[in-house]
Amino acid sequence: MNDMDKPDPLPPATRIPDGLESYSSTPTFTEENIPAGLRRDHSTKAGSWGLIHVEHGTLRYSVTDPRRIPTEIDLIPAAEPGVVEPTILHHVEPLGAVRFHVEFLRPAAVPLCAHEELAGEENRARLKS
């Protein structure tokens, strides 16, 4: 594929899709203890979205992935959280004193039907005996 065949980069997502559920969260970070990896380009795994919640101060969120239009957003507590798309390169930079955490979301688990639940219970019972 040459440069002429590459699709144009898209703007970064500004909201998460419907049907996601929270499954994990980082501790609260400050300008003094942000892990070095968050200050460098990194990404979440496929299927894992993130919401950057700023509790105090200003955090610059930069999307640097070539599949997206390069974007810098200054996140503040009164604004919507920063949206982190799966596999999209990004990094953060504190602009002075800041407190923030990242919430991770993934597609909601599909509930099992009654027969699948019963089969699972039967299999676990057999393994115990």
CATH of domain 3-128: 2.60.120.10
Give the pLDDT of residue 55.
98
Instruction: Look at residue 42 in the predicted model and tell me its pLDDT.
Output: 98
The residue written with tokens 């920063």 in the block is 82
Q: Give the pLDDT confidence score for residue 45 in this predicted structure.
A: 95
Q: What pLDDT does 6 receive? A: 78
Distance, in Å, from the CA atom of 110 to the CA atom of 55, rounded to the nearest integer, reads: 32
pLDDT at residue 5 in the model: 72
Question: Quick one: pLDDT at residue 109?
Answer: 80
Average pLDDT, 10 consecutive residues per value, the chain (129 residues)? 75 95 96 98 96 98 98 97 98 98 91 63 68
Neighbours of 15 (CB within 10 A): 9
Under the phi-then-psi rule, with left for phi > 0, alpha for psi from -120 to 50, and beta for the rest, what region is 37? Answer: alpha
What is d(CA 92, CA 74) in angstroms, rounded to the nearest whole number?
10
Domain ranges of the chain: 3-128
